């Protein structure tokens, strides 16, 4: 069969075949043409891989819609151009790190060469390191920006590029859109300066590891408890990623002596040979760790994703079965422990705060209110939590926070979710529970008995193509214009519409503004608050053809013995809400 490519795809193919691209790249393109592989050619060339407000992510391969030396090059040249425009004649410094994915070291070095070719000093991690350490390094070294080559927990075919600003946070307005504009202005491979200047390249040594680990040690609240429970049995898996470089060291530094690494997943490997998805949210990715925990009769299971910004954990139930904790449960447990212990130690002075996203459990808000600690709610994305930390720096002290998607942060030395620091804190709070003769499951039940059992369900609906995009758009319109009279037997009492930044009291009809700032800006998100305290949040994904509904319900928990029955009841209620709203 003959190839039939649309005009844009054909033009892009022709540009890559005739432009200043290397011979191997051109050979691979010609091979696709000779094989008449229309599907791959079209997907690789029908558009340019989008550099969004946080960076970019895509499958690796040849073409303008793939991650390769040229798309990484264009992104880096655009970022460099923006830094040179904004910072002028300053001595500009950038920190760069990478994860364990295939091609990550090469992409990392390409980015370093392009920055130095543009007269920008680069501080480069010579070997893989966690994303949160890059965030730390940007601030610690006084850099103006940073990047990390990673695709987080995406499948092995992917890689990506995250961009950071001088405060160690992923870029936010106005820099985000301005950087995107500069990247989009790179129209030719000839615009990219690939020839690096090694005189401007500084390779980082393990001193930066020690400085970062010191901040994790400083987070520790009760070293004497860890000392008493130092033989706490911890099973840890880095799932073939960067967590292996620092999580065991952090746990050892705190004094834990019985850390068991899952050896089959200890070696960094971009093919992630033991899992389908390298994502600790997936039970399958935790299988080997859970098997080892059963064999050891461990106290705790923890696993980090490839760039070690997210962490999954599992606890042993009274029946002896291991249960995975979701992101809301783990974020709540961390804050429950920190608030409880900080109060006991006299660390709560009235100047502290917590931050989380608007789709993360309201249990955290409730616990903060009980201690008189403000809890700021932000849009989804850790850059918004970092924005709150930045705005309040020097005025209020950040205790910790997180988001439901398994990302947590303790203290403000890092400005992104931090699985290394989180693993250390999860181990500490497990030691604290054991010091009181309790398991982590008992600690979870205790939190629910004190505050109500909060359960959150995520309903993610995939709607592909143009028709799917229209359907998602219509679903949001319907939610805004037709608020149901009753959901699961409870009346909606408030609507929070972040697109128009307004809150409507459905009982009185009063409309009041949602204040912009501190992690809040106009965004296509709607929340329904029900009379019984349940909440439904709707948010179209910005990166995938999906619309997500976050459903939060809660009920009293009389005792740990009622845990399973209450849990089943709450799960059933989430299902009823899903059915009543027609979410399918």
Task: Please report the DSSP string for 89-114 in residue order.
Answer: TS--EEEEEE-SSTTHHHHHHHHHHH
What would the two tokens of residue 511 be? 């409309």
Distance CA 304, CA 290 (A): 14
Gap between the Cα atoms of 345 and 340, Å rounded: 9
Terminal Cα-to-Cα distance of the chain (whole angstroms): 39
Asked about 152 being catalytic, the answer comes back as yes
Q: Which of 448, 426, 434, 439 is nearest to 367 (CA)?
A: 448
Tokens in use for 40? 């791959």
Cβ(67)–Cβ(158) below 8 Å: yes
Residues 6 or more apart whose Cβ sits within 8 Å of residue 246: 129, 130, 133, 209, 212, 213, 308, 420
Q: What residues are paired with 437 via a beta bridge?
A: none
Considering 152, 237, 405, 537, which one is annotated as catalytic?
Answer: 152
- CA dist 264 and 152 (Å) reads 20
Which residue from 336, 312, 306 is spatially nearest to 324, judged by alpha carbons?
312
* Parallel/antiparallel/unpaired status of strands 121-124 and 201-203: parallel
| CA 359/CA 525 separation, integer angstroms | 10
Q: Which residues pair with 235 in a beta bridge?
A: 260, 301
Q: Phi, psi at residue 289, to the nearest 5°?
A: -65, -40
For strands 55-59 and 407-410, give the pairing. Answer: unpaired
DSSP string computed for 434-470: HHTT--HHHHHHHHHHHH-EEEEEEEEEE--HHHHHH
Read out DSSP for 126-174?
SS---HHHHHHHHHHTT-SEEEEE--TTS-TTEEEEEEEETTSSBP-TT
Q: Distance between CA 398 and CA 390 in Å, rounded? A: 10
Q: What is the DSSP string of 271-313?
A: T-TT-SS--TTSGGGGHHHHHHHHHHT-SEEEEE-TTSS-EEE
User: Token digits for 180?
Assistant: 């995107």
Whole-Å CA distances, 489 to 200, 237, 531, 532: 65, 43, 10, 9
SS3 label, residue 122: strand
The Cα–Cα gap between 357 and 359 comes to 5
Rounded to the nearest 5 degrees, what angle is found at the Cα of 236, between the Cα atoms of 234 and 237? 165
Secondary structure of residue 347 in the 3-state scheme:
coil
Q: Which residue has the tokens 């005189």?
A: 199
Residue 361 and residue 327: Cα distance in Å, rounded?
A: 9
Write out the catalytic residue numbers. 152
């Amino acid at each position: 069969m003959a190839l039939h490519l649309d005009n844009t795809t054909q033009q892009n193919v022709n540009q890559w075949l005739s432009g200043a691209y290397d011979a191997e790249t051109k050979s691979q393109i010609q091979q696709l043409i000779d094989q008449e592989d229309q599907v791959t050619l079209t997907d690789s060339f029908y558009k340019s891989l989008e550099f969004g407000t946080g960076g970019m992510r895509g499958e690796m391969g040849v073409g303008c819609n793939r991650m390769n030396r040229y798309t990484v090059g264009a992104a880096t040249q655009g970022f460099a151009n923006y830094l040179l425009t904004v910072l002028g004649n300053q001595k500009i410094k950038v920190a760069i790190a990478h994860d364990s994915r295939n091609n990550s070291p090469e992409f990392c070095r390409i980015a370093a060469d392009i920055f130095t070719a543009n007269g920008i000093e680069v501080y480069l991690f010579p070997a893989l390191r966690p994303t949160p350490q890059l965030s730390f390094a940007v601030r610690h070294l006084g850099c103006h920006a940073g990047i990390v080559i990673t695709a987080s927990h995406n499948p092995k075919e992917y890689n990506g590029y995250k961009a950071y600003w001088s405060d160690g946070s992923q870029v936010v307005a106005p820099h985000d859109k301005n950087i995107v504009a500069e990247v989009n202005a790179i129209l030719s491979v000839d615009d990219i300066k690939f020839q690096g200047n090694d005189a401007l390249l500084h390779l980082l040594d393990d001193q930066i590891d020690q400085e970062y680990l010191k901040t994790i040690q400083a987070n520790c609240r009760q070293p004497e408890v860890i000392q008493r429970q130092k033989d706490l049995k911890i099973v840890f898996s880095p799932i073939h990623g960067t967590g292996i470089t620092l999580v065991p060291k952090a746990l050892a530094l705190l004094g834990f002596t019985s850390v068991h690494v899952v050896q089959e997943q200890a070696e960094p490997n971009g093919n992630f040979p033991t899992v389908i998805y390298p994502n600790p949210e997936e039970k399958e990715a935790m299988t080997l760790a859970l098997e080892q925990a059963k064999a050891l009769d461990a106290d705790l299971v923890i696993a980090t994703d490839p760039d070690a910004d997210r962490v999954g954990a599992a606890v042993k139930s009274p029946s002896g079965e291991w249960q995975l904790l979701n992101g809301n449960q783990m974020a709540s447990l961390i804050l429950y422990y920190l608030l409880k212990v900080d109060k006991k130690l006299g660390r709560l002075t009235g100047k502290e705060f917590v931050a989380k996203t608007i789709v993360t459990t309201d249990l955290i808000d409730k616990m903060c209110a009980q201690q008189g600690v403000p809890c700021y709610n932000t849009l989804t994305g850790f850059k918004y939590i970092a924005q709150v930390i930045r705005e309040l720096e020097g005025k209020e002290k950040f205790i910790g926070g997180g988001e439901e998607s398994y990302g947590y942060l303790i203290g403000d030395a890092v400005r992104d979710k931090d699985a290394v620091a989180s693993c250390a804190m999860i181990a500490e709070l497990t030691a604290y529970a054991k010091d009181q003769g309790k398991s982590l499951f008992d600690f979870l039940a205790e939190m629910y008995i004190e505050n109500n059992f909060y359960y959150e369900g995520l309903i993610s609906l995939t709607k592909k193509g143009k028709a799917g995009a229209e359907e998602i758009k219509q679903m949001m319109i319907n939610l805004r214009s037709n608020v149901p009279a009753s959901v699961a037997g409870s009346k909606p009492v408030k609507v929070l519409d972040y697109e128009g930044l307004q809150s409507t009291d459905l009982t009185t009809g009063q409309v009041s503004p949602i204040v912009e700032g501190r992690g809040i800006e106009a965004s296509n998100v709607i929340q329904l608050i029900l009379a019984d305290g349940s909440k439904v949040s709707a948010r179209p994904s910005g990166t995938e053809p999906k619309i997500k509904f976050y459903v939060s319900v809660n009920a009293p928990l009389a005792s740990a013995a009622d845990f399973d029955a209450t849990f089943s009841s709450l799960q059933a209620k989430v299902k009823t809400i899903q059915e009543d709203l027609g979410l399918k």
